[in-house]
């Protein structure tokens, strides 16, 4: 998530009551959780076993709760509760805007776009030429929709990320500061849910088609010309390549990479990265030919046991 302008880190430190360890005049350009960080970003860590990951990340600024020596090129912000500090900064720069009308006056909708009755469109949404948003769709804040996109009835585009921090008091919700991008000629079937990024983008590539009741988690990136059948679910931060076909009820875990041209057959469960250009089946999924061979062997063993 980018700030509207670069901000001196000393100003950030004053707002979150933190001590600066490093260059107090350095400029922060944005704030991102660890999976999305870039040079110039602020991130946070409050569990010691993850310190090394955060301190060696691309982030220039790290909010943390233990004094350490900053690595070269890093500036640290020392405070008691890094998560609360991080979340307060996101809320400051991406505040909630509860809707008072069905279509926010801050939305930008191309004159040629078709918006059917009972559509809800949040602030800072952009909808491109010749797109068609059918009745009873919700398009949440900051979503960007390209040209010739179809979103069928009942779908929710840009819902809050399913992202919580475990605390002694229970699960604490993060403010989602990210967005959804639907590129040109994307089709979204009825009853789909596409979550916005925690701090970055959830993106659906040009020409990709989703059947009904598909769920796309936060920060997922889907390539071009993909085809997902009904009840597919993809966990957060997973990257799906171009020309991928997922048949019905395929489930993909978070933080994975699915190569170009992959085909996954129905009801399969994906728990690891998939190599490009292959067909997969099973739970957990493996190459389809191997999976079918193993099933044939099991059937033969069963039959031999019954005959014996």
Q: Are residues 123 and 212 in the same domain?
A: yes
Q: Are residues 43 and 14 in the same domain?
A: yes
Condensed to tens digits (0 to 9), the pLDDT of residues 180-218 reads: 999 999 999 999 999 999 999 999 999 999 999 999 999
Residue 230, in any domain of the structure: no
- Number of Cβ atoms within 10 Å of the Cβ of 93: 16
Q: Which of 31, 66, 93 is the last residue of a domain?
A: 93
Residue 8's domain comprises: 2-93
The set of residues, in sequence order, having a beta carbon less than 8 Å from that of 40 and lying 6+ positions away, is 6, 27, 28, 29, 30, 60
Structure tokens at 115: 């918006």
**CATH no. for residue 58?**
3.40.1390.10
Please tell me the distance from the alpha carbon of residue 125 to that of residue 121, in angstroms, as a whole number. 7
| End-to-end CA separation in angstroms for the chain | 66
Residue 233, in any domain of the structure: no
Dihedral sign from CA coordinates of 116, 154, 236, 275? negative
User: Which residue's entry shows tokens 């997969």?
Assistant: 280
Residue 275, in any domain of the structure: no
Mean per-residue pLDDT, 163-179: 91
Please tell me the total count of domains within the chain.
2
Please tell me the distance from the alpha carbon of residue 243 to that of residue 267, in angstroms, as a whole number. 19
Whether the per-residue pLDDT at 308 is higher than 70: the answer is no
Please tell me the distance from the alpha carbon of residue 25 to that of residue 16, in angstroms, as a whole number. 16
User: Which residue's entry shows tokens 């949040």?
Assistant: 122
Q: What is the pLDDT confidence band of residue 293, given thresholds at 50, 70 and 90?
A: confident
Please tell me the distance from the alpha carbon of residue 46 to that of residue 51, in angstroms, as a whole number. 8
Whether the per-residue pLDDT at 303 is higher than 80: the answer is no
User: CA triplet 62, 74, 43: central angle to 5 degrees?
Assistant: 20
Q: Are residues 75 and 135 in the same domain?
A: no
Catalytic residue among 93, 97, 215, 218: 218
Least confident of 1-15, 54-68, 136-150, 165-179: 165-179
Whether the per-residue pLDDT at 241 is higher than 80: the answer is yes
Look up 110 and say whether it is catalytic: no
Please tell me the distance from the alpha carbon of residue 134 to that of residue 37, in angstroms, as a whole number. 35
Q: Are residues 141 and 170 in the same domain?
A: yes
Condensed to tens digits (0 to 9), the pLDDT of residues 228-237 reads: 999 999 999 9
Mean per-residue pLDDT, 66-73: 92
Residue 39, in any domain of the structure: yes
Mean per-residue pLDDT, 36-64: 94
Residue 20, in any domain of the structure: yes
């Amino acid at each position: 998530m980018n700030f509207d302008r670069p901000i001196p880190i000393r100003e950030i430190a004053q707002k979150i009551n933190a001590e600066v360890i490093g260059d107090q005049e350095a400029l922060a350009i944005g704030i991102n959780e660890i999976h999305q960080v870039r040079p110039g970003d602020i991130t946070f860590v409050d569990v010691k076993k993850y310190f090394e990951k955060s301190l060696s990340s691309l982030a220039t600024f790290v909010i943390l709760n233990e004094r350490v020596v900053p690595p070269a090129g890093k500036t640290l912000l020392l405070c008691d509760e890094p998560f609360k500090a991080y979340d307060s900064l996101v809320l400051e720069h991406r505040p909630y805007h509860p809707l008072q009308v069905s279509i926010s006056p801050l939305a930008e909708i191309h004159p040629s776009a078709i918006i059917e009755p009972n559509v809800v469109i949040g602030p800072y949404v952009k909808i491109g030429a010749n797109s068609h948003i059918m009745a009873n769709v919700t398009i949440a804040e900051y979503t960007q929709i390209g040209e010739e996109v179809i979103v069928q009835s009942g779908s929710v585009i840009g819902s809050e990320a399913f992202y919580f921090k475990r605390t002694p008091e229970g699960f604490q919700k993060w403010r989602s500061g990210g967005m959804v991008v639907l590129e040109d000629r994307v089709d979204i079937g009825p009853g789909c849910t596409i979550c916005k990024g925690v701090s970055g983008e959830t993106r659906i590539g040009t020409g990709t088609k989703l059947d009904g009741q598909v769920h796309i988690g936060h920060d997922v990136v889907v390539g071009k010309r993909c085809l997902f059948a009904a009840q597919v679910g993809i966990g957060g931060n997973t990257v799906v390549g171009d020309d991928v076909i997922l048949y019905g009820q395929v489930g993909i875990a978070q933080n994975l990479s699915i190569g170009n041209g992959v085909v996954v057959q129905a009801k399969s469960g994906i728990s690891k990265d998939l190599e490009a250009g292959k067909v997969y089946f099973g739970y957990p999924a493996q190459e389809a030919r191997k999976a079918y061979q193993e099933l044939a062997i099991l059937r033969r063993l069963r039959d031999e046991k019954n005959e014996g």
